[in-house]
Structure 1
Amino acid sequence: MFTVPVENDLIKHCEALIESYNFGQRHTANGTKEQQLTGVIGQSVISTLFGLGYVNGATGCDKGIDIIYKNKAIDVKTMGRTTDVKRSYTNNFLKLQDHFKTDIYIFCSYHKIKNELTVCGWISKPEFILKRRYYPKGSTRTRSDQSTFVTFADLYEIDIRDLVPVKNFEDLKQQLSQKI
């Protein structure tokens, strides 16, 4: 895992996007404005690392393709947190996004207090399908700290320890270049 600071200019840009565009274009489970902001921040940070700049938003739904790298479709999945990430943590993925033609998932955590994005790791879609766990809408999930939540939609989970680990951005790019 590696962590990068999220600059105030990027946050302000993403806040303006959330006010201008509706990023929840699914038929259900569109996420709150805060959840949409978290996703746009994560996508913008990763996009910037790849030299592509901030998310634009004007093109509408991206159909699960945030970045094209080495001719592969990458979806950046970001969870908001108020704690530092641990390898024992889990990442969530809404089942209704499963049909998108994505090749690679990069899972991130956005620390909403520190304004930091942690890249937890990545996984190919076929490996994700093998390693994920399914929980139907209404399931009660227990976090590592023993707090619970009820799923608001059909959900997959994958543990951070099941992702391909990365040390820094150059390591991520090198791995993606080799695996793709």
Structure 2
Amino acid sequence: MSAGTILAIACGAFYSFMFLSDSKVKIRTLTWACAGLIALATLCLLAAQSSFGDVPAHAAFGLASAGAIACAVAGGITITELYASLQPQPSANTSGQLWLVYWFVLPSLFWAPDRLGQAQSARDAHPQSSPLPKVELADPGTQDTWRLIHLHEGRGLLVRLGEKPEDRIFKLVDAKDIKFISYASLSPTAN
């Protein structure tokens, strides 16, 4: 997800710089936009961590994605604010711009992608929202729902997902023992 984060930062910086250079917005407007995006990002990321109650894994991933994007765009806007404040102009520069980098750009580069990765991992490991393909084994006595993690050199790594990490069971099988792989489960709502 780091490429998506970098793209969101670049888009935030590009468009805010474009609007600022065309005199469509003032630095003060960018400051308020940045503050609003940071507030939105904070709410989304806290909600994704179940700070406001229990959140299903797929919803936590969506909230973390929205929070990461909002935080990254705010980081791009902050870069434009910093650049604009360093240009020769009648207004005085303050140390506030450096605090913006410290408090907003750094979290957009570290906290948001980390939280997004955690939410994606939780979504992928949850039995109801996992995008891992379902596997039917050739053994007719196997009634468990197995998910395919990886195929490599004629062997398949499977997992039986559980609500808790300690409920997960991993299994290594020969590829010939896999009767069917269902990719229809790639949608979180298809399960």
TM-score of the superposed pair, with normalisation by structure 1: 0.22
Query: Which has more helix, going by share of residues?
Result: 2
The structure in which a higher percent of residues are strand is: 1
TM-score (norm 2): 0.21
Higher gyration radius (CA) = 2
Q: Which of structures 1 and 2 has the larger relative contact order (alpha carbons within 8 angstroms, sep 6+)?
A: 1
